[in-house]
Amino acid sequence: MADLHDANPAHDSGSVYDGLLDPGAVDGHWAFGTSFEDPLAGVDTTVPSGVDAGDLAAYCLMLGDDALVHSHRLTEWCSNAPDLEEDIALANIALDLLGQSRLLLARAAAADASVVPALPEGSPAPPEDALAFFRDEPAFRNVRAVEAPNGDFAVTVTRLFLLSCWRLALLEGLARSRDQVLAAIAAKGVKEVTYHRDYSARWLVTLAQGTDESRRRAEAALLTVWPTVAELFATHDVERRMADAGVGVDPATVRDQVAAVVDHVLATAGLERPEVRGMSGVRGRTGRDGLHTEALGHLLAEMQSVARAHPMGVW
Amino acid sequence: MPTTSATTREELAREVAERVPDPELPMLTLADLGVLREVHVDVADGEHRVTVWITPTYSGCPAMATMRDDLVHGLQQAGFAEVEVRVRLQPAWTSDWVSERGRRALAEHGLSAPGPAPRREGPVPLTLLPVRRAVTCPVCGSADAELTSEFGPTPCTALYRCQACLEPFEHMKEI
């Protein structure tokens, strides 16, 4: 019988690393994710009545891809940030977004399994990892704002600020979704994106009110990021249908709420709201339709290549 | 079975599950952290099946897999062949769920315990000023501590430095 004082098996065998050699997992772990097979294990993922499962899956992919791609961009700062504290801060924020993305992609797969790319038989990749690593660029539904290269720290902070204002407003609305899974993911996400927004807003004010050089960079960053903002509030058909069904939030409806926060921070920072045109789509198609900038292809190549080369990878 | 006072299989399962430590803050058990939500035992075909519900602290908590494995192994070693760990997403985890014993254990190990989590109705307010907390240095007890970073080595901690004894320490954030 086990000693009840210590139920952690790692302690019995002497090394904290022994836990990595999971004796229960005879086939090893999927090499590119954690071994927690299903982040929604035991969660009721029944699609609410009257809701189209394909639409719900597409909608979850949109929100999940926003978080996934933005998370990947932020992790590019690892070991490159201006100082250790910002390095850790950006990695923490990226981790939150990655977690939200994992839940959202898993929710998409649970709503409609047909969105998950087919993998070789016996591949250990869970559905959310198949979605992250094995979809081609046109199947990604993220807004184009999240895929743009990081630029300097000012561009990254400015983008994080504008995206966090928008995402927080969406998640606050989604916490009341008729889909209980989406509502739970959103309620959790609100807590996290709240401090993403605070962090980036503080930095934007600090840069704008700092030295001549930091102010020059903050002004330039705003001009760089602003053209990607209009797309955030353009309603896709899927978003409209999900909003009508009481499941999603029509992004056009949070425009004023987001603008109030953005204007407040810009005023505090002493920055002008830029008068620049939004980035155009191609024949009306934008990120939500799977139409992306060249930057996403490069990002996906880096993010996906190892997993794609080893779809059966275990360790 | 040395120290258990459990009289039923359900009590035993709960006792075992409650003693599983958190992988990242091992001075805390999953129960003290508030991650362990419910333990249930039912009998099917003469076998005791344990179902455990856990709630992640943060969406991206990388320790969920290890928590699950540690719970399964702990319960299997206590004689439960069939163990299922389920995720409960709602209500979302809050630092208010850290138990009194957990708060003492944090302090004993040099971590500052969280204050009350913010509660709000309506839109989330923007906070442009640095977060202010009444934090006490877990080493010397001084209330004069300076925030180094809102982000620490794990998602749930912020970094402080005591102005009196100069010792750096982690503070578990209020969410």
Indicate if B48 and B103 belong to the same structural domain: no
Q: Do B59 and A22 make contact, defined as CB atoms within 8 angstroms?
A: no
pLDDT above 90 for A17: no
Indicate if B77 and B139 belong to the same structural domain: no
β-strand pairing of B82-87 with B111-112: unpaired
Model confidence band, residue A33 (pLDDT cutoffs 50, 70, 90): low
**pLDDT score of A253:** 98
Inter-CA distances, A201 with A237, B56, B62, B134, Å = 31, 27, 27, 23
Q: Are B123 and B103 in contact (CB under 8 A)?
A: no
Q: Is residue B64 part of a domain?
A: yes
Pairwise CA distance, residues A190 & A174, whole Å: 10
Interface test with A, best of B68, B151, B157, B159 (most A CBs within 10 A): B151
Q: Of A209 and B118, which is predicted with more confidence?
A: A209
Q: Is residue B143 part of a domain?
A: yes
Q: Count how many domains chain B has.
A: 2
Q: Is residue A79 part of a domain?
A: yes
Query: CA angle, A264 as apex, A261 and A269 as ends, to 5°?
Result: 125
Q: Is residue B127 part of a domain?
A: no
Task: Give CA A189 to chain center in angstroms.
Answer: 10
Q: Of B139 and A206, which is predicted with more confidence?
A: A206
Inter-CA distances, B70 with A26, A57, B20, B86, Å = 16, 32, 7, 14
**pLDDT score of B7:** 72
Q: Do B128 and A199 make contact, defined as CB atoms within 8 angstroms?
A: no
Q: Count how many domains chain A has.
A: 1
**pLDDT score of B2:** 47
Segment A7-21 shows an average pLDDT of 50
Indicate if B46 and B107 belong to the same structural domain: no
pLDDT above 60 for A9: no
Q: Is residue B110 part of a domain?
A: yes
Q: Is residue A288 part of a domain?
A: yes
Q: What is the ipTM of this complex?
A: 0.91
Q: Of B127 and A216, which is predicted with more confidence?
A: A216
Indicate if B55 and B75 belong to the same structural domain: yes
- Report the residue from A183, A184, A199 with minimal CB separation from B150: A199
Segment B45-71 shows an average pLDDT of 90
pLDDT above 80 for A28: no
**pLDDT score of A35:** 53
Indicate if B107 and B75 belong to the same structural domain: no
**pLDDT score of B112:** 95
Interface test with B, best of A191, A196, A315 (most B CBs within 10 A): A191
User: In what side-by-side order are the strands of the sheet with B47-54?
Assistant: B36-44, B47-54, B82-87
Pairwise CA distance, residues A126 & B174, whole Å: 32
**pLDDT score of A15:** 54
Pairwise CA distance, residues A65 & A304, whole Å: 14
Q: Of B148 and B5, which is predicted with more confidence?
A: B148
Q: Is residue B46 part of a domain?
A: yes
Cβ neighbors of A82 (< 8 A, separation 6 or more) are A153
Give me the CATH number covering residue B31.
3.30.300.130
pLDDT above 70 for A202: yes
- Chain A residue with CA closest to B6: the answer is A4
Q: Is residue A152 part of a domain?
A: yes
Q: Is residue B60 part of a domain?
A: yes
Segment A96-112 shows an average pLDDT of 97
Segment A16-42 shows an average pLDDT of 63
Instruction: Tell me the nearest-neighbour CA distance from A191 into chain B, angstroms.
Output: 7
Instruction: Tell me the nearest-neighbour CA distance from A36 into chain B, angstroms.
Output: 5
Tens-digit pLDDT profile for residues A167-194: 999 999 999 999 999 999 999 999 999 9
pLDDT above 60 for A2: no
**pLDDT score of A214:** 98
**pLDDT score of A13:** 47
Query: Taking each helix axis from N to C terminus, what angle separates A153-174 and A84-111, rounded to the nearest 10 degrees?
Result: 40
Indicate if B14 and B83 belong to the same structural domain: yes
Inter-CA distances, A112 with A61, A91, B26, B129, Å = 11, 31, 39, 44
**pLDDT score of A10:** 44
**pLDDT score of A63:** 98
Structure tokens belonging to residue B118: 């913010």
Q: Is residue B92 part of a domain?
A: no
Indicate if B105 and B152 belong to the same structural domain: yes
Q: Are B49 and B43 in contact (CB under 8 A)?
A: yes
- Report the residue from B73, B92, B123 with minimal CB separation from A187: B92
Give me the CATH number covering residue A69.
1.20.1260.10
pLDDT above 90 for A23: no
Q: Is residue A42 part of a domain?
A: no
Tens-digit pLDDT profile for residues A111-122: 999 999 999 888
Q: Is residue A134 part of a domain?
A: yes
Structure tokens belonging to residue A28: 């090893």
β-strand pairing of B157-162 with B111-112: unpaired
Give the percent of chain B with pLDDT over 70: 97
Indicate if B69 and B139 belong to the same structural domain: no
Pairwise CA distance, residues B138 & B146, whole Å: 13
Phi, psi of B39 (to 5 degrees): -130, 130
**pLDDT score of B111:** 94
Tens-digit pLDDT profile for residues A258-278: 999 999 999 999 999 999 999
Structure tokens belonging to residue A26: 């005879």
**pLDDT score of A14:** 53
**pLDDT score of B1:** 45
Indicate if B51 and B104 belong to the same structural domain: no
Q: Is residue B53 part of a domain?
A: yes
Q: For residue A297, what are the domain limits?
A: 53-309
Segment A135-150 shows an average pLDDT of 98
Tens-digit pLDDT profile for residues A210-250: 999 999 999 999 999 999 999 999 999 999 999 999 999 99
**pLDDT score of A6:** 45
Pairwise CA distance, residues B136 & B112, whole Å: 7
- Chain A residue with CA closest to B64: the answer is A36
To which residue do tokens 């591949």 refer?
A123
**Looking at chain A from residue 176 to 215, which residues have their Cβ under 8 Å from any Cβ of chain B?**
180-181, 183-185, 187-192, 194-195, 197-199, 201-202, 205
Model confidence band, residue A283 (pLDDT cutoffs 50, 70, 90): very high
Q: Are B126 and A169 in contact (CB under 8 A)?
A: no
Q: Do B87 and A42 make contact, defined as CB atoms within 8 angstroms?
A: yes
Pairwise CA distance, residues B6 & B2, whole Å: 11
Q: For residue B106, what are the domain limits?
A: 99-116+132-172
**pLDDT score of B121:** 80
pLDDT above 70 for A65: yes
Q: Do A8 and B20 make contact, defined as CB atoms within 8 angstroms?
A: yes
Q: Is residue A21 part of a domain?
A: no
- Report the residue from B17, B59, B69 with minimal CB separation from A100: B59
- Report the residue from B64, B127, B151 with minimal CB separation from A88: B151
**pLDDT score of B5:** 58
**pLDDT score of B154:** 85
Task: Out of A144-158, A175-189, A297-311, B128-142, pick the least confident.
Answer: B128-142
